[in-house]
Structures are given as C-alpha cells and as structure tokens.
Structure 1
Amino acid sequence: MRLRNPRVQLVIALAVLLIVICGFTYGKVWLKQGKVEPTSVTAPSTIHQDKPNSLEPSTVPTAGTKNENVSTYPTEQVDVVVIGSELEGLYLARAAADEGLKVKILDPHQAFGGQILQSQMLFLDETRDDQGHVLVQGRVKELFDGFRNAKIRKLPEFTSYMNKLVKDIPIESGIVIQEIEQVQTPDNMHKVASLVYSNEKNEKKKVTATYWVENSDYAALISRLGAKRLPGLEKFYGQKEIEYMSAGMMMKFKNVDWKKFNTAFNLLKPEEKSKQFGGGYVSDSFAIGLSGMTKAYHPSNDRVFLRGLNAVNQRDGDVLINALLVYTVDPSKPESIQEAVNLGNKETALILPHFRKTLPGWEHAELGEQPTYPYVREYNHYEMDYVLKPSDLLSGTMFWDNVSIGGYPLDLQGTSANKWGIEMGRPDKYGMPLRSFLLKNYENVIAAGKNVGSSAIAYGSTRIQPNTSLAAESIGVILGQVHGKQKLREITPEEMAKFQQYLSAHYQIKLTGVTAANKISGWNADEIAKLDTGEITYPSYIQTRKKPLTKK
C-alpha cells in the first residue's frame, strides 16, 4: 500500500537515514592516533569483527576529524608495509619484493638509512661461534665481506649498497602516522587493516596491507598499538626510571697515519702495550680496546663517556670510531636526540687533542664530518609470541621455526647506572624463532631489527645486525611463499621445514641441522631462572660454580 501522507513519508525517510548513518558509524571504528608518549602503552582501540560483510574501510568516516571522510584520501593497497629504513628490515623488504610481493617503505625519519647512513655507524660487528666460524649468512654477508675486505668502508660505499638493496621499492621519508585502523579477527586476534599518514608536504594518504613490519629505532608503529612493554634494563639495575643502553656518537677523523699507528703499536712488547694503552689490538684495518688510553681521558660532563675503541681504518687517512657513549637518551623524543648530537659532537672535539697526544700517527689528525643523528642501541622491548631469554642463548637452543642462527656475547652497553656496561655471557650460537618476530595478539604485525622479541639481557646479543638481518630476510622469503595461502601463525612444523629447505636451496641460508654448545648443561631450574633475571652473571658465576669443594 502506498503512503500518501507527506509527514509520514518524511518521518520514514529520516528514520531510514538515521539507521544508515548509525550503521556506518558503528560498523567500523578508527583509532585516532595522536602524539603518544612511547614509554607508556596505549590501550587497545575499539575494534570491530573482521567479517566478509563488513564495510570497506575507505567508506567509513574517521573519528576525530571534521567534515572529512577517509575515502577522500589517496589510497594504495600493497602486500607489505615496512615502517622505518633501518638496515635489518630492508632485507625483509628486498626478499619479499624478490618473491613477487608489492612492498612499500614508510620512514618516519626525514632521511633514509637509519643507523648506517644517518648515524654513520659504519663499524660492523661480525658474529662467530666458539670455533671462530663466521655465522653471517644471507644477503647481509655481501656487506660484511665487503667491510672485512676494506671494499665497503666509507659512507658513499654503504650508501651505494643500501640503495641497491631497496632498488625499485617505493620509499616515502618524513611521514607521520595519523590514524591506524584495527579490526578484530574471528579468533579474537587484533589486526592492523590500514593506516593514514601525512607526508612531508602535509598531504594525507592511506595505505592498506596484508602485513606491517616495525623497522624503526623507536617503535613508531608498535608503540601506538595495544602492545605490552617488557621490563628493561631499569629492572636489572634497580632503577625507578626507564633507561635504555647508551646511545653512541660516531667519531670521524681525517689525516691519520694509520700505517704509523699500526707499526708503532705492534713494535711494543706486551707489557709496554699494557702500560701505554691498557692493551688492545691494532691491525691494518682495526683498532680494538686500548681502554687504558681512553680511561685517561676525563669527560666534560656525566652524560658522556669514552670507553674502549672500536676503530676502523676507512683508508686515505680517514678513521671512524665507535667508543663515545651518551647516556639517558630517549629515541622517541626529538629533543633528546638533538641533545645527544650536541653533547656527542662537542665531546668529540675535546677528545681529538687527547688522541693527538697519546696515539702515534695521530699527531696531525683533524675532525671529520660529524654525524647528525646518534647510534641508537635500544628502545622499548615489546612482547612477541616468544621472548628470547639468556638461557635460550647460552644453551644453544634451536627452534623448529628458526629464521636465523645467531651469535655474539650478551653485551649490555653502559647506562648511567653502570657506565662501562657488563657482559652477561658468551653463547656458542643459537636459534632465533619466527615467533620472536610476531607481535603477540596481533595477526599481521612483524618486528624487525632492534624490535626483536627479547628480554633486556638477552638483547645484548640478539640486537647484533647479522642476527636480525638474516631473520628479516628469511621472513621476507616466507611471506612470499605463504602469500594468499595461509597466515604466518598457521605454519606447522612440517611446513616450516619445507620453507627452511627452500631458503637453503634458493638463498643458501642454513637454518636446520645446526648444533651448538650448551653452556648451562647440568644447571638446575633455580640457576636458570636466576640467569634469566640477571641475578646470575654468567662469566663470574661459572668460575665459582666450577671450583671443586675443598675439605676443611
């Protein structure tokens, strides 16, 4: 029957319109991302069920904006979005792209290259096992071989390498994350569906992706999700405030006569080396230690500290040194970063006369180009599906879902509470599982590089570049293999074995059949628990534990 009363028709029309508006508003909720203090964890957003009949995100109004609809943003759909341009995550981007996936890099920093290019952290730490065998595998091996052989030592050479690594992968630098859409999956997992970001021109864009990779040095994405922050070094040192491992300011010098330095040092007898320099090691390429010489330098303030040298001969009189520490730096705060740069570069100028006076071949040394960004070692640790512990590393545990074979001492760099830092043990080698790179309770968020799922103590080793670079590359390959078929979390041990075989056959990456020395064999549960919390410092405890009981 047709209604002829205009008032009734108007009421019905208004009711229908109201239902439609409510449906759109209730159907999907967007998490408006304002400036969040990254040291605290944001509460999980309101989320909707991810069902086939749900509205497309591009049609949903964005909460907190005025007269603006998400559908007006230029929208791009890709397979993988990598947040940040640190070296480690770029291997995931490269591998995923090589496997046929569409990858995009969004960098919250103004310039590309992270700690390698912007911090000029060009001294690479190689991983080896107890027998001295190199553990570096995958695409990163080219970089480490070039560094060791003096073919990749200067900034332009690193730049060329990294540009090759991201060839044909689109990159936008200087982005700001504005909004993140989260949905809830039928199995009650969180899922990032899309994000809106602004570029350097303050233009807003939207991107959707199947997987999101956290590859920044201050957890630009994960810190804004409902992720759990794990205890950091502040618990180990008994501090009330959160503090990270010291940042480093790379020191660059020119007009150094490295040949004279090397020759003069190695003509000394061991006791003379110890007396003049506190021991150490100098070769054609590297100078390590000389901590007696650095101890003789008195910093201008308590925020900076000169530890033993990690120096590399960059050729042509150029030398780069990783030894200057800056304490209490928060990488999530631009003002803290700039303060670190100012403190570090000022101190480098004061250190130069000390080097001229105490090191042979440095008499005419001058300051080189000073970096504009510090070398950030650590930020918050967030809970992944599996959190690596010191006992995993020192026992040489291998996992069914290995994506990397790691190594390196548990090297906790200094903080204001312990300026020299401390070594917590030396593993032979150990496995790193896929689960340690999957953000807990999130279906499609992957951690890369410094964001690895690791306790603060185990992080002393897991953080080293070859370890997480290999993991990232392996994960990138696996993403290509599972694309459109299954989720990373659905991979079974049998399927993982096939992916590991594929990695071995096509990428020369060996993740299975590896055995490692168990350095805590015979330890009881109480000892292992204390090792994992830091109550036991392995290097000192193992000496006490080995001492035979003597009769009185």
Structure 2
Amino acid sequence: MLNRETLVSIMVLTIILICSLTSNTLAVEEINSDLIVFSGEPEGVTAAVAAAREGKNVILLMFREKPGGLMTYAALNFLDLNYDNKSRNINHGIFSEWHQKLGSSISFSPKKAETVFEEMLAAEENITIINLAELKSVKVKAGKIYYLEAEKNNKSYRLTADFYLDASQDGDLAAAAGEDYFIGTADINLKNSWMASTQILKFSNVNPQKLKKAVRNNKYYGSHFRNDHAWGFSNFGKSYQSQNDNLRLRGLNIVFIENNGGYDAYINALLLFNVDPLSEKSAAEAKKSAAVEAELILKYLQANLEGFEKAELNDLPQELYRRESRHFLTEYQLKTQDLFRQKIFKDTITLASYPLDYQAAAQDYPGFVLFNPEYYGIPLRTLIARKNDNLLIVGRSSGYSSLAAASARVLPPAMNTAEAAGIAVSEAVNKNKSLLEIVEDEESLKKIRSALKINLNNYPAEAPIIDDPQLLGSLERLLSWGITIGGYNNNFKLDTVPNEKEFTAIILKIMQKKEADNLYEWVPGSLETLSSNKKLTTTNALKLLLAAESQRVLEMNEDQYFNKALEMDLVPDKLIVVLTKKRVMNRKEMIILAAHYLDRFETPSDLKAIRGEYFD
C-alpha cells in the first residue's frame, strides 16, 4: 500500500505531466503579415490574390478545407453576370480571369471552380493558407484589430497584421470585432425576416437534349434553354405541392454539367423558409427537411419533366445557399436611392447593374424586383468598417441596405470589390495611410479602377431612372421602404389609374413601417371598409387619408375633405391644385401623395442609423 508521501509525489508528477502535455497541445505560433483575409469565399480568394500580387504578405484563414465557399460547398454554379447596355460584361479584373479559366460560361462545375481557385492561390508565393481553422477570439485595441486567435487541430495561432479583411458570408470576424449590423430586412422594419435559403439539388443520369426539344416546342410555359442552362418553368414549380410548409419549389433554374459522357443537373429551386441564417442548428434541421423533400421532388421530376425520366438524386451539397444575414454599418451605407439615381461616387471602385431582385422571404412574402438599374457605382467606403479602422468587409455583408444588397450581393461585383480592397490595403501600407485617406487618394483610386478596367469618364455623377423632378424624390422614398416596385422593365405604370384598394394598402404599409402612433387596431378594418376596387379619385384619396388619421369621414361632407386634409398637412404643395378638383388620379399623383404621407411620420430612431439616414 502506498504511503501518503508517495501518493502526493505521484499526484504532483501527474499534474506536471498534464501541464506539459497541455502546453505542447496548445503550442502557439505567432505570425505577422501585411493582411489577414478571413474566409475562403470567392471574395476572400480574390482579395488575397490581389494583395499578394501587389507584393504584400497575406494570411488566408479558412474554416473550410478548400476555397470556393458558396460556389463549391453549396454548389451554386450559376453566375448572375452584370451587363452594360450593349450586353457586355462590366466586371473585369481577377473575376474575369477566374471566369475565363472556367470557360467564360454563366454556369460551371463546382469542382472546376474549386480547382481554379486553388491554382490561383498556389501561384502566389506571398499567401500563407491556414485551413480548417476556428476563429477563437478577436483582440481590439484603440479602434483597431490588434490580433486574432485561431485554432487548428491542437495548435493555436496568434495572428497579427496591419489590416484585416472579412470575406465570410456572415461577417463573423467583423461581428466578433464589435462592428454594428442589422439582420435581413430590419432596415425596412421587417424584423426577423430575410431572403429564403435554398438547398441546391443535384441529379445524375439526365438528358438535357430531350428537355431542350420540349422547351423549344413550348411544352412548359415561360421556359427557356440556352447552351447548358434551362430556366423559367414557373407554372411547373407552382404545381408542385410541398409536404412541408416551410419548403417551396419555385420556377426551375437548371445547370447541366457533362460528367463521364453523361450529364448531371444542378437545380436551384427549393426554397427553405424560417431558416435562421446565423444558426447552425436551424440550418441542419432545414437540411434534414430538404433531404426528405428531395426524394419527393425526384419522383415529381421523373413523372413530369422531359429528360428526367431516369434521373437519380445525388448527395446534397454540404451547405445551404444562404442569400442574406448580417448587413454591416460601414463608412457609407449604399442605399436604394443611390441605385435608383445610378450614382457614381468619387470613390467608386467598381460598377454593377444587376436588378434589385429580392427573393421570397416567406410563403406569404413573395419575391419581387424593385427596379433594374443600367449601372451604378459601389464606393470604397461601403467596405470600410466604422469602429475598427484597419478592417474591411467584402461580400454580401458589406455596407448595403437590404434592398440594395439584393443587387450588389451577386458574385461579379462582389469579387471586384474584394480585389479593390486588396489593392487599397497595399496602397495604405505603401503610403503609410489609413483606409479613409486612401478614399481621398485619387492616385490610389485610379490604380484600383485601372485594375478593374473602369473608366468613370463615361458616366455622369447621376442619371436617375425616372428623371422627373416632380416625382423623383417621392418615388425613391417609397422604393427605399419597399412600398412600390418597378420590376425588370422599370415600369411604374405612372400614367395608369390606381384603385382605392391599392392606395389603402400603401397607406397601411407606410403606417406599419414607420410605426405610426395613430395606427390603432381599428384603422386597417376601417380603411378596408371604406375602399373598393373602383378607380381612385381625389375625393376618395383624401377620404382614406383622413380615415387613417381617425377622422370621422362618414360624418363629414365630401366638400370638407380638402380643407380638413390641408389643415392637417396631408396635402403636398405639388398637388394642391389637383386635389381641389374632383377627378380620377393617376399613379404619379398617388405616389407623390403617398410619399408626403410617409414623410409625416418620423423614422423610428433605431431605424435611422441602419438605414444610412445619417448620410442624408
């Protein structure tokens, strides 16, 4: 039997051994560089390559094993290209280089995309890759990121740099560094709402030629087939009845990829609602539901879609295609109005032209196209963090309003902004300047634009889509809250006559979004009762506005409506003459009237900052 002294000695030795093993297990490697890029998304790869080509030492910190992110792990293999008015691609630079290596098509093999990203990284000697790493902490000091702590297997890293760049989908580094953000459509007062996630489905043993023939014979309404890509099929999607209320099959978007003499089909169409974009648990549960539904969709396709009779369902991609989560508050918040005015900023670093295509957020909140700009500029300030002056944020979580992000989030301009960020960091290091000083440095901005082949001399400072000084301000204010839309063709139907129900719906949206104090519980019912599908007249427009203000309109004479509305400041100066006459209103007049009512209510204080109204 061991005596007390022996037991104590054994315990001490054991503790020493454990501490020694722990010390070895948690050995810390310190690495310093010019730039740390967080995440191997396409934007992260682009930023790292851009800075490395400028001669800067770069650490690419990835939590995945391979680069490519959304394009590879979620299998989103279709590009939303941005074109000019002559159908030419407007996004160049490293994006164009990557795109050409893929074959210059709008669709591609996820594996090929991954390979090209790897080759681009391997070609740069100045890039150190730390993959499969977990970001453990971010140390902030005196308005800067001081260092990062990361862990891989049993090894810890302490990483320091002059600048840091967050290229992750959700802005996890920026959030950990204390940057402010909002989630989803909170900036238009739709809280706990964001675009649906998608589970991309992959099928093998399909026959694209058979589907192409059926499309050309108009078997499927509103469907198209070009090269290796088919899209549309809206009625086809609507006729499918999901077994899960949180899932919906929209119109099909199909990419065909040749594989060993046959073809695989990637279908981007299965929308997943109520998936918390920041919760791994929520995503995992959604993936389980999608896997069950995928088997039913397979049977539906086999029975109803030409070329899919013998289709087989492959393993689902590892990750969901998540369109939206955090939106960060950067040095400038790109607003819907900026896109509508097709604004070119002094610090514009790239151009974009994709429509503001906001995907469905719920079964009862369908997607829409707000409008379709011919072009607009993205300023460098939208990438620069406000609290940490050595941090940039690139990708879908950059400083965009939720509705502006519906356009700016797509890959080509996102990769352009990442390249611009990489060059901006290089310029800041070379010139010993801050990022905000680079914003004012015309020589540095010219260097960025040259790399991206942008000539701003071809563009005016502003070119509003609707260049009507009477209407412009009113229309863009309603657009900024998502209250009216123009669609792909920017058709706001200005000369058509709206009906009373339309005006009622706008009034209620305004009151809800602005959290009007006078939106009493009886107001919606009262307005619904007072309105019909009849054409909107000046008399009834005033009547509905007065009713929204809880005025006893049924006890008033119609001739009293105008004076009462004027007294309550419900009549804009532009419409004083119009509203004195009893006649039908056109949509332009209704928009001006509605925007005036919108301005009646103060924007809630918590929304002012996240809407970028401090820039107005």
Q: Which range, TM-score by smaller chain? A: 0.7 to 0.9
Aligned residues: 466
TM-score (norm: length of structure 2): 0.71
Residue identity in the other structure for 1:260? K
**2:475 alignment counterpart:** 527
Distance 1:467 1:355 in 2: 34
Report the counterpart of residue 488 of structure 1 in structure 2. Answer: 435
| 1:219-238 aligned within 5 A | 219-230=171-182, 232-234=184-186, 236=188
In the alignment, the residues of structure 2 paired with residue 93 and residue 511 of structure 1 have an alpha-carbon distance, to the nearest angstrom, of: 24
**Cα distance 1:231–1:350, how it changes in 2: closer, same or farther (>3 A)?**
closer
Letter in 1 for 2:232: G
CA displacement, residues 133-177 of structure 1 (integer Å, 9 cap, x when unaligned): 322211111343455655972232112111022224222233222
C-alpha spacing 1:492/1:340, structure 2 compared with 1 (3 Å):
closer
Q: Within 5 Å, which residues of 2 pair with 1:315-464?
A: 315=258, 316-416=262-362, 418=364, 420-464=366-410
Partner Cα separation in structure 2 for residue 280 and residue 412 of structure 1: 21
Residue 75 of structure 2 is matched in structure 1 by: 120
Q: Does 1:513 align with 2:457?
A: yes
Contact 2:78 2:106 in 1 (8 A): no
What is the Cα deviation at residue 118 of structure 1? 0.9
C-alpha spacing 1:331/1:151, structure 2 compared with 1 (3 Å): closer
Contact 1:305 1:419 in 2 (8 A): no
Give the deviation of 1:205 after TM superposition: 1.6
Q: Distance in 1 between matches of 2:106 and 2:459?
A: 33
Structure 2 letter corresponding to 1:257: N
Q: Describe how 1:495-506 pairs up with structure 2 within 5 A.
A: 495-496=441-442, 498-503=443-448, 505=450
Q: What secondary structure, in the 3-state scheme, does the structure 2 residue paired with 1:361 have?
A: coil
Distance 1:448 1:405 in 2: 15
Q: Tell me the distance in 2 between the aligned counterparts of 1:96 and 1:541.
A: 39
Among 237, 253, 257, which residue is 2:203 paired with?
A: 253
Report the Cα distance in structure 2 between the residues aligned to 1:224 and 1:181, rounded to whole angstroms.
9
SS of equivalent residue, structure 2 residue 35: strand
Distance (Å, rounded) in 1 between the aligned partners of 2:72 and 2:473: 44
Is contact 2:27–2:156 with CA below 8 Å preserved after alignment? no
What is the identity, as a one-letter code, of the residue corresponding to 1:423?
V
Structure 2 residue 49 is the aligned partner of structure 1 residue 102: no
With the length of structure 1 as denominator, give the TM-score of the two structures: 0.79
Tell me: CA distance 1:355–1:145, structure 2 relative to 1, closer, same or farther (3 Å): farther
> Percent identical across equivalent pairs?
26
Shift of 1:329: 2.0
Can you list the C-alpha shifts for 1:313-363, whole angstroms capped at 9, x where unaligned?
212311111111111222332212222222223222211121122222221
**1:445 Cα deviation after fit:** 0.9
Residues 1:208 and 2:160 aligned together: yes
Out of 90, 93, 98, the position equivalent to 1:138 is 93
Secondary structure at 1:459 match in 2: helix
Distance in structure 1 (CA, Å) of the matches to 2:315 and 2:324: 25
> 1:262 maps to which residue?
212
Provide the rounded CA distance (Å) in 1 between the counterparts of 2:106 and 2:341: 36
Which of the pair is proportionally richer in helix?
A: 2
CA distance in 2, matches of 1:150, 1:383: 34
Match of 2:501 in 1: none
Aligned to 1:15: none
* 2:162 is the alignment partner of 1:217: no
Q: Using the alignment, how far apart are the partners of 1:257 and 1:309 within structure 2?
A: 16
Native 8 Å contact 1:124 1:147 kept in 2? no
Q: Is the 8 A contact 1:89 1:215 kept in 2?
A: yes
Counterpart of 1:63 in structure 2 is none
Deviation at 1:542, TM superposition (A): 4.7
In structure 2, the partner of 1:198 is: 151
Counterparts of 1:20-59 in structure 2, within 5 Å, are none
Rounded Cα–Cα distance in structure 2 between residues aligned with 1:492 and 1:250? 39
Q: CA RMSD in A?
A: 2.6
Indicate which of 112, 116, 134 corresponds to 1:176: 134
Contact 2:67/2:118, CA 8 A, preserved across alignment: no
Q: 1:365 to 1:415 in 2, by over 3 A?
A: same
Change (3 A) 1:213 1:492: closer
Pairwise CA distance, 1:551: 6.6
Tell me the amino acid that sits aligned with residue 210 of structure 1.
Answer: D
Distance apart, 1:300 and its partner CA: 1.3
The counterpart of 1:153, out of the listed 108, 119, 127, is 108
- 1:524 deviates by 4.0
In the TM superposition, residue 531 of structure 1 has moved relative to its aligned partner by: 1.9
Contact 2:223 2:232 in 1 (8 A): yes
Structure 1 unaligned blocks of 5 or more: 1-66, 185-189
Structure 2: 5+ residue runs without aligned partners?
Answer: 1-21, 498-577, 585-616
Whether 2:487 is the aligned partner of 1:544: answer no
SS of 2:494's equivalent in the other structure is: helix
Q: Secondary structure at the match of 2:298?
A: helix
Deviations, residues 237-296 of structure 1 (Å, cap 9, x unaligned):
x655x2321111111111111112112220x2xxxx3xx523121123211111111111
The residue number in structure 1 matching 2:502 is none
Q: What secondary structure does 1:163 align onto?
A: helix
Whole-Å separation in 1 of the counterparts to 2:341 and 2:36: 35
CA contact (8 A) 1:403 1:475 kept: no
Larger CA deviation: 299-308 vs 168-177: 168-177
- Report the CA distance between 1:508 and its aligned residue: 5.1
| Secondary structure at 1:311 match in 2 | strand
Aligned to 1:76: 31
- The answer as to whether partners of 2:101 and 2:116 remain within 8 angstroms in 1 is no
Partner of 1:43: none
Which one of the candidate residues 285, 290, 293 is aligned to 2:236? Answer: 293
Tell me the distance in 2 between the aligned counterparts of 1:418 and 1:234. Answer: 17
- Work out whether residues 394 and 428 of structure 1, in 8 Å CA contact, stay in contact via their aligned partners in 2: no
Q: Is the 8 A contact 1:108 1:220 kept in 2?
A: no
Q: Report Cα offsets for 1:448-487 as digits up to 9, x if no partner.
A: 1112110011111010111111111122123223314211
Deviates more, 1:333-342 or 1:300-309: 333-342
Counterpart Cα distance in 1 of 2:268 and 2:106: 19
Using the TM superposition, give the Cα deviation of residue 73 of structure 1 relative to its aligned residue in structure 2, in angstroms: 3.0
CA distance in 1, matches of 2:175, 2:195: 18
Q: Indicate how the Cα distance of structure 1 residues 293 and 413 shifts in structure 2: closer, same or farther if over 3 A, else same.
A: same
| Residue 297 (structure 1) shift | 0.7
CA shift in 2, pair 1:422/1:147, >3 Å: farther
Matched to 2:135, the amino acid is I
Q: Is the 8 Å Cα contact of residues 116 and 158 (structure 1) preserved in structure 2?
A: yes
Displacement of 1:78: 0.7
Larger Rg: 2
Contact 1:395–1:519, Cα closer than 8 Å, also in 2: yes
1:516-544 residue CA offsets vs partner (Å, 9 max, x unmatched): 75203223434322221222323399533
Distance 1:542 1:265, change over 3 A: closer
